[in-house]
């Protein structure tokens, strides 16, 4: 038998060049579609803002100018404390100036929800008498802000003060203790003066609730102050509070700081106690931190050292760093489809910052990572590890609120909650969860890459928001825009909000971000930018001789 050689059919080899070309074409098409989407969204946001600003024109009010007798309120808390210590200023006079200024601006801003003016004046007089009689240096060392008044967002418990968290079920509740951050400030000699407005349970980009209503921006009362520390930022920018105690779980300190032209500092997570803030026990790990907004970056380290307590040394906040020794990186925009594109004014503000830093150090280098294309998703996943139960807190822990039911009640005007709170409920209860394994992998990748990049001497310059403060209610069309701040909560990185002048009368700014525990870098850069770019610009006229 003769065996014939049978030829095997040729197997066609894949055309790798063709596959590569197809991938390139698909990538180009996707990028073009994304660019078209962001362009359309950019102009849609502009159209919405224009339409809403026309509506709010009728309700705008001008903030009163700062009177000469109140000129001290332009100064930093550090300088005010020094003047009290040196007997150049009486605590009673400072408290009186704050009270008078609050009474001038609060009818316009609607920032204060409760006050203790008489008690604070009494405490101030007692302090003045002790100083007049003579206090040892050790007393001033232990109480670095002796006699300086402070205000706190209402979600921080202040003994005897309303503690509603903006929730109707708690509208008559008063705190029976001090939150840990409030206690530490009192121990440092500061005097609680008032508590300020927040969105329900601190969870929205505007400061509005069904108990106290809406807080207005001092630069334009037809626009948002941000959230959740919106009452604090509005009052501080209006020159009515020397110390403003905030907190931040998704931009809650930095967002209102940006919208109100202030510095805002969110320290590395895990170094400040949340005990007594938003009904927290303070015992569970959290991505939130206690922070401050301020007109002056020199206040941020001394105040943070107080609320950090025994952990203050871990942040090394007194460390001085030469700008030329810092390596800078920047992200101009992100490609998260949920977030509006960054406007040209804020891109110019970032360029202004990078150009100034280029003259003192190496030119900032562009940075990118796929994680920044999913800022909201990574923040939302990080929030699943928080112990607070939003649905229960809305009812003051008497049952649960359900988004679908409350939405129906809202449509007929019967809900006790704002639409923002209802949307938050729907996001938690109805909308799909973020895939945990994917989110953990991408978060770890972004975190590890940034830590390697920034190291001990690196600072990332990042957009604060897609646009300056928008007209009231327009953020319902940009519900995820806060994630430009929230992503760094998810990563547990420290961040500082820095003002960079005004455009059309509205504050501009950028975020500065460092690796965990490298907070001092940010405060040094913030101080440098204040010196070279002007810092805080008040929303009203101030006396020329305010120093």
**228 catalytic residue (yes or no):** yes
Angle CA 440–444–447, to nearest 5: 140
Could you tell me the two tokens for 26? 């698909």
Mark whether 424 is an active-site residue. no
Cα–Cα dist 387/373, whole Å: 27
Dihedral sign from CA coordinates of 480, 386, 265, 112: positive
Q: Which of 79, 83, 90, 153 is the catalytic position?
A: 153
* SS3 assignment, position 246: strand
Structure tokens at 290: 């206690």
Question: Could you please report the per-residue DSSP string of 4-49?
Answer: P-PPPPPPPPP-HHHHHHHHHHHHHHHHHHHHHHHHHHHHHHHHHH
d(CA 521, CA 96): 36
Q: Which two tokens stand for residue 374?
A: 């999913």
DSSP label at residue 272 = S
CA–CA separation, 66 and 116 (whole Å): 23
Peptide linkage before 325 cis (omega within 30 of 0): no
CA atoms within 13 A on the CB side of 137: 0
Greatest alpha-carbon pair distance for the chain in Å reads 125
Check: CB of residue 497 under 8 Å from CB of residue 264.
yes
Cα–Cα distance for residue pair 48/44, rounded to 1 Å:
6
CB-CB contact of 183 with 157 (8 Å)? no
Q: How far apart are CA 279 and CA 177, in angstroms?
A: 11
Tell me the C-alpha distance between 222 and 109, whole Å.
10
Task: Judge whether 256 and 153 are in contact, CB under 8 Å.
Answer: no
CA distance 225 to 46: 19
Which uninterrupted H or E stretch holds 196? Answer: strand 191-196
Give the number of other CB atoms < 10 A from CB of residue 322. Answer: 10
- Determine the Cα angle at 242 with ends 146 and 153, to 5°: 105
Q: Hey, is 516 helix, strand or coil?
A: coil
Q: Which pair of structure tokens corresponds to residue 309?
A: 């307590």
Compute the distance between CA of residue 195 and CA of residue 200 in angstroms, rounded to an integer.
15
Q: Spot the catalytic one: 76, 91, 155, 252.
A: 252
Q: How far apart are the C-alpha atoms of 485 and 482, rounded to whole Å?
A: 6
Catalytic residue of the set 76, 228, 241, 289: 228
Is 153 catalytic? The answer is yes
Helix, strand, coil percentages (3-state) for the chain, rounded to 5, are 45, 15, 40
Element counts in the chain: helices (H) and strands (E): 18, 13
- Catalytically active residues are 153, 228, 252
């Amino acid at each position: 038998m003769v065996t014939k050689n049978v030829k095997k059919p040729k197997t066609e080899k894949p055309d790798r060049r063709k596959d590569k070309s197809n991938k390139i074409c698909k990538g180009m098409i996707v990028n073009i579609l994304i660019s078209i989407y962001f362009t359309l969204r950019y102009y849609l946001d502009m159209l919405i803002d224009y339409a809403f600003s026309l509506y709010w024109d009728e309700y705008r009010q001008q903030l009163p100018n700062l009177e000469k007798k109140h000129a001290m309120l332009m100064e930093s808390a550090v300088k005010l404390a020094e003047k009290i210590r040196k007997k150049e200023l009486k605590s009673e006079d400072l408290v009186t100036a704050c009270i008078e200024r609050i009474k001038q601006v609060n009818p316009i801003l609607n920032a204060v929800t409760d006050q203790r003016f008489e008690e604070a004046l009494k405490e101030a007089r007692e302090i003045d008498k002790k100083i007049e009689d003579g206090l040892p240096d050790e007393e001033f060392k232990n109480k670095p802000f002796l006699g300086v008044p402070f205000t706190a967002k209402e979600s921080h418990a202040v003994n005897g003060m309303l503690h509603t968290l903006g929730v109707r079920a708690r509208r008559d509740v008063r705190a029976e203790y001090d939150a840990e951050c409030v206690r530490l400030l009192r121990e440092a000699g500061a005097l609680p003066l008032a508590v300020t407005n927040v969105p329900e349970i601190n969870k929205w980009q505007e400061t509005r609730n069904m108990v106290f209503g809406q807080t207005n921006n001092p630069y334009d009362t037809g626009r948002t102050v941000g959230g959740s520390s919106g009452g604090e930022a509005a009052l501080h920018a209006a020159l009515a509070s020397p110390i403003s105690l905030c907190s931040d779980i998704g931009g809650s300190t930095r967002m209102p700081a940006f919208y109100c032209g202030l510095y805002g500092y969110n320290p590395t997570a895990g170094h400040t106690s949340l005990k007594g803030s938003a009904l927290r026990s303070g015992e569970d790990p959290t991505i939130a931190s206690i922070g401050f907004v301020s007109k002056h970056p020199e206040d941020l380290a001394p105040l943070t050292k107080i609320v950090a307590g025994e952990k203050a040394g871990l942040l090394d906040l007194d460390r001085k760093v030469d700008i030329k020794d810092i390596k800078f990186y920047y992200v101009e925009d992100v490609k998260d489809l949920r977030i509006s594109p960054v406007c040209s004014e804020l891109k110019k503000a970032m360029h202004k910052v990078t150009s100034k830093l280029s003259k003192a150090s190496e030119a900032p280098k562009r940075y990118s990572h796929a994680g920044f294309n999913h800022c909201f998703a990574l923040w939302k996943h990080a929030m699943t590890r928080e112990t607070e139960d939003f649905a229960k807190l809305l009812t003051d822990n008497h049952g649960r609120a359900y988004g679908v039911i409350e939405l129906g009640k809202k449509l007929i005007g019967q809900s006790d909650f704002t639409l923002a709170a209802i949307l938050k409920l729907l996001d938690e209860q109805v909308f799909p969860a973020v895939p945990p394994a994917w989110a953990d992998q991408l978060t770890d990748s972004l975190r590890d890459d940034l830590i390697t990049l920034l190291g001990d001497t690196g600072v990332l310059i990042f957009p604060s928001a897609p646009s300056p403060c928008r007209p009231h209610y327009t953020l319902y069309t940009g519900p995820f825009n806060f994630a430009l701040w929230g992503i760094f909560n998810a990563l547990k990185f420290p961040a500082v909000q820095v003002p960079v002048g005004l455009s059309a009368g509205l504050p501009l700014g950028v975020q500065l971000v460092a690796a965990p525990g490298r907070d001092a870098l940010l405060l040094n850069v913030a101080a440098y930018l204040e010196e070279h770019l002007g810092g805080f610009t008040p929303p009203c006229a101030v006396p020329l001789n305010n120093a």
